[in-house]
Structure 1
Amino acid sequence: QKVYKVKITTNLRRYTAPARGSKTWKTIFKRRTAVERVNAYLKGYFQLNNVRYRTGKRAKVHFDLVTLVYNASKLGADRINRKLSKQQAA
């Protein structure tokens, strides 16, 4: 295959810094999709689509509380699953 070198500044949307299809692009894209899945979950189940505060401070507090609850629930679920898997293995 031929390799064509193109400056990224010609079209930032078309020519990305890690080339699409490369290994680094795939690892970055995997991380991005994982984060987007969490954001979609928070918007769907914790009402982050409908934040109705006039100040950014209250919205930030709401977001911080939602992420705290989400992380705590995931931590609890992981601990329960680990305990159950140890009991089944024994």
Structure 2
Amino acid sequence: KVKITTDLRKYTAPARGSKAWKTIFKRRTAVERVNAYLKLYFQLDNVRYRTGKRSKVHFDLVTLVYNASKLAADRIRKMLESQQKQVA
């Protein structure tokens, strides 16, 4: 066993490879996937506002549109699955 204080980058809490680490890492990768999607398709890496208020409004609108589109896609998928179950 190695103390965390020796090298925080190498020996983290919870320890890498543990079950707790895997659950935390899964959550983090899910969030990073969404961030990458927003940067790629909604131009969040290219915000041209200088003030924080305008860029926050831009970010809020982008996340609103993203969440609404995901909600609509999930509802459409659920509806199509229920229709296919009724046919089969």
Q: Deviations over 1:18-42 (max 9, x none)?
A: 1111111011111111111100000
Q: Deviations over 1:3-30 (max 9, x none)?
A: x2x2212211011001111111011111
C-alpha distance in 1 between matches for 2:49 and 2:23: 36
Matches within 5 A, 1:1-90: 4=1, 6-90=2-86
Identify, as 1 or 2, the structure richer in helix: 2
C-alpha distance in 2 between matches for 1:12 and 1:61: 36
C-alpha distance in 1 between matches for 2:61 and 2:15: 38
* Structure 2 counterpart of 1:8, one-letter code: I
Q: TM-score, normalised by structure 1?
A: 0.92
C-alpha distance in 1 between matches for 2:69 and 2:16: 35
Q: TM-score, normalised by structure 2?
A: 0.94
CA-atom RMSD in angstroms = 0.7
Structure 1 segments unaligned to the other structure (5+ residues): none
* Structure 1 counterpart of 2:68, one-letter code: A
Structure 2 segments unaligned to the other structure (5+ residues): none
Shift of residue 75 of structure 1? 0.2
The total of aligned residue pairs comes to: 86
Moved over 2 A (4+): none
